[in-house]
């Protein structure tokens, strides 16, 4: 479907949703929280997000980034000091680990962030300073290179915006609310973040896809997501009509409801709860770390139904211009880029975009990019996976003797998926750094000298299993308590050149 018909279809659904939403006015008046309670829950909830993020990273920070870790941060900073002398090193790598990058400093950094999250939940002035401490701690460990997923960028950006919200009342007062209402431009910027993130997802999934052909996207997604659970396996084998209906609901929530959130009142109420329900559904099918809870907390800010865009320049003379620049750059990011570009802002050549004549403004993006204050969002292209058997090692290859055989994994919730989920995915809300650790520890170059049509036991599949066999050495590196017997399934990324010898 061309862009014009798609836009018209989306506009019609938005108008229908807005019209139907006004029938819920009675329910909204009865159940919607007060604005002060809404923003109080947002600030305290983000304290909880910091506890989850840094609490799950704490036991892994030294094996991953310590002096003898997989990617020692001390070596990174040592080289950065040579490449970016003077103050430049602080601009490109803003972290207090410049003072001390020892294993103890890494542990204290994550612990300080956890403490900041606890103080943020408590509230009051000390709660605001706790959120500042947690944001700085997270910023400091960001240089380790372990925070590059879309949910990580969301925490960085929302973690900066939450500091502009009013203080919450201390829990000792018996109230969960905020002491005051936020400045309208800040509240609208927070709501725009929720809209930008979800529209970024919709942009990647639906903008260039044929919705009619890609309506089995979820069948593959339930399996190739980072840490699927048992429910995801069963949904992978769900009836096709259910998978198509779920895809339609996802399309409606991600591409239609965010536009409703631009409006105040009933349309925003419907949009907020639609996004929250979608996050709860994703949470039930796999482990995405803090992402589901974190985005739900961002969506809670949408439940302030009284704020409108006509109030943007009210109550302040300094913040509205800053928030206007932030929103403008944010939507430029939304329209042009996907999440992977967030790690390239500082080195991106803006001369590739001469038509926009925005070099000065986008230069600001390059300047603040190491702080991750403004990010692009967009992942998971809509490509339904083919119904192909999965490879597993077997005792006997089809050609006889040892080697690699082919076994159909789609026979029940056993084998690789179950072994993986039993160890990792069942830890709800635990950020999946363990999967990243396995990936980092098991990434080894493979010399490709054979062709894809090699006899069984000598081709690419056996080389994949060689990687898994080599990962047994990881146990002696201090990571054995997490890796165990190795992952039940893994992803292999190939970079093929002319010398690889492969034929298409």
**Could you read off the pLDDT of 291-335 as tens digits, one per residue?**
999 999 999 999 999 999 999 999 888 999 999 989 988 887 777
What does the pLDDT read at residue 411? 30
Residue 192's alpha-carbon distances to 6, 83, 328, in angstroms, are 22, 37, 11
Residue 288's alpha-carbon distances to 2, 54, 214, in angstroms, are 33, 15, 23
The residue assigned the tokens 């803006």 is 350
Is 443 contained in some domain? Answer: no
Is 245 contained in some domain? Answer: yes
DSSP state of 290: T
How many structural domains are present in the chain? 1
What does the pLDDT read at residue 383? 52
d(CA 275, CA 198): 8
Per-residue pLDDT of 336-387, as tens digits, reads 777 777 776 555 444 444 444 555 666 677 778 888 888 888 876 655 444 3
What does the pLDDT read at residue 364? 73
Is 487 contained in some domain? Answer: no
Question: What residue ranges of the chain have pLDDT lower than 70?
Answer: 1-3, 208-209, 344-363, 380-504
Is 325 contained in some domain? Answer: yes
Is 318 contained in some domain? Answer: yes
Is 237 contained in some domain? Answer: yes
209: Cβ contacts below 8 Å, ≥ 6 apart: 381, 382
Is 488 contained in some domain? Answer: no
Is 49 contained in some domain? Answer: yes
The residue assigned the tokens 């905020």 is 178
Contact criterion met (CB below 8 Å) for 503 and 451: yes
d(CA 424, CA 432): 8
- What residue numbers bound the domain in which 296 lies? 8-371
Number of C-beta neighbours around residue 203 at 10 A: 21
């Amino acid at each position: 479907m061309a862009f014009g018909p798609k836009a018209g279809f989306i506009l019609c659904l938005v108008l229908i949703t807005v019209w139907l939403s006004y029938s819920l006015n009675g329910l909204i008046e009865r159940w919607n929280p007060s604005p002060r309670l809404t923003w109080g829950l947002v600030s305290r909830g983000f304290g909880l997000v910091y506890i989850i993020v840094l609490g799950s990273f704490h036991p892994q920070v030294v094996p991953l980034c310590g002096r003898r870790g997989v990617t020692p941060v001390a070596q990174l900073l040592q080289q950065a000091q040579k490449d970016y002398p003077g103050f430049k090193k602080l601009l490109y790598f803003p972290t207090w680990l410049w003072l001390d990058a020892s294993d103890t400093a890494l542990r204290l950094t994550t612990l300080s962030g956890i403490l900041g999250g606890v103080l943020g939940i408590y509230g009051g002035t000390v709660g605001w300073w706790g959120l500042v401490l947690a944001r700085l701690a997270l910023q400091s460990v960001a240089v380790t290179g372990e925070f590059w997923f879309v949910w990580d960028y969301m925490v960085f950006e929302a973690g900066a915006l939450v500091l502009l919200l009013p203080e919450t009342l201390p829990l000792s007062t018996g109230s969960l609310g905020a002491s005051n209402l936020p400045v309208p431009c800040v509240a609208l910027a927070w709501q725009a973040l929720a809209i930008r993130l979800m529209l970024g997802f919709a942009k990647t999934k639906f903008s260039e896809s044929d919705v009619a052909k890609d309506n089995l996207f979820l069948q593959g997604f339930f399996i190739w997501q980072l840490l699927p659970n048992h429910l995801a396996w069963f949904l992978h084998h769900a009836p096709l009509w259910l998978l198509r209906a779920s895809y339609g609901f996802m399309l409606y929530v991600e591409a239609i409801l965010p536009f409703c959130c631009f409006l105040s009142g009933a349309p925003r109420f419907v949009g907020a709860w639609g996004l929250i329900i979608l996050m709860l559904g994703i949470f039930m099918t796999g482990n995405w770390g803090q992402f589901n809870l974190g985005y739900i907390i961002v969506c809670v800010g949408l439940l302030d139904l009284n704020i409108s865009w006509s109030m943007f320049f009210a109550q302040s003379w300094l913040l509205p211009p800053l928030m206007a620049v932030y929103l403008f750059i944010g939507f430029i990011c939304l329209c042009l880029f996907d999440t992977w570009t967030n790690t390239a802002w500082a080195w991106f050549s803006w001369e590739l975009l001469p038509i926009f004549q925005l070099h000065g403004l986008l230069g600001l993006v390059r300047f603040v990019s190491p702080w991750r204050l403004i990010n692009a969002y967009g992942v998971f292209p809509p490509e339904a996976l083919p119904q192909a058997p999965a490879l597993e090692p077997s005792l006997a290859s089809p050609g006889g003797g040892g080697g690699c055989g082919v076994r159909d994994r789609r026979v029940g919730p056993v084998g690789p998926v179950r072994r993986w989920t039993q160890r990792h995915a069942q830890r709800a809300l635990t950020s999946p750094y363990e999967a990243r650790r396995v990936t980092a520890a098991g990434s080894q170059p493979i010399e490709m000298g054979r062709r894809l049509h090699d006899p069984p036991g000598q081709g690419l599949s056996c080389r994949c299993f060689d990687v898994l066999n080599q990962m047994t050495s990881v146990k002696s590196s201090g990571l054995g308590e997490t890796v165990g017997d190795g992952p039940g399934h893994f992803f292999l990324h190939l970079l093929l050149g002319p010398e690889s010898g492969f034929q298409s």
